[in-house]
């Protein structure tokens, strides 16, 4: 009986591991207000996927999701002047964005930081939007909705 339990436990562990690898390697989900920049690692092709829902891709096809809702980005300072803008990622300029930033998981940007002096910490895509918004140059992948 003990030997049988070991086999069952091994089988459950093997199936769980296989299903997790299958899930993380083949599926991604895009919400209604998100787009995914999809890159085929083998052929190097890039495309945009703006259809919401679950998507099945080969394991060598990576998808980096970007939120397209307007977001407030600010220059964090101790001053009392208005230093914020409401910006939105423009899907039409996604190719120029990838040309400038390269393809990667933009969620990881500035994920490890030690700036504890301010309550607002910008990470991921919001940090990238902030940098391009306040650079003083217009970019086709950013739409400034409002300046505060």
Has residue 22 been placed in a domain? no
61-67 and 27-30 beta bridge pairing: unpaired
Has residue 73 been placed in a domain? yes
| pLDDT of 79 over the 90 cut | no
The burial of 92, by beta-carbon neighbours within 10 Å (0-12 exposed, 13-18 middle, 19 or more buried), is given as exposed
Has residue 20 been placed in a domain? no
Structural domain span for residue 142: 30-147
Contact 37, 55 (CB under 8 A): no
Helix-, strand-, coil-residue percentages of the chain, each rounded to 5: 30, 30, 40
Across the chain, mean pLDDT equals: 85
Has residue 6 been placed in a domain? no
Number of domains in the chain: 1
Task: Specify the pTM.
Answer: 0.75
Give the model confidence (pLDDT) of 104-137 as tens digits.
888 777 666 666 655 666 778 888 898 899 988 9
């Amino acid at each position: 009986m003990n030997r049988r339990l070991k086999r069952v436990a091994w089988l459950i562990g093997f199936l769980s591991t296989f299903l997790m690898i299958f899930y993380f390697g083949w599926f991604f989900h895009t919400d209604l207000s998100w787009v995914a920049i999809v890159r085929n690692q083998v052929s190097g092709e890039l495309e945009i996927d703006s259809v919401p829902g679950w998507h099945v891709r080969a394991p060598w096809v990576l998808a980096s999701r970007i939120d397209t809702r307007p977001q407030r980005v600010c220059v964090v300072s101790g001053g009392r002047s208005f230093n914020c803008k409401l910006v939105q990622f423009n899907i039409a300029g996604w190719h120029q964005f990838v040309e400038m930033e390269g393809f990667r998981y933009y969620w990881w940007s500035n994920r490890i930081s030690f700036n504890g002096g301010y309550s607002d910490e910008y990470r991921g895509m919001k940090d990238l939007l902030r940098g391009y918004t306040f650079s003083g140059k217009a970019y086709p992948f950013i739409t400034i909705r409002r300046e505060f």
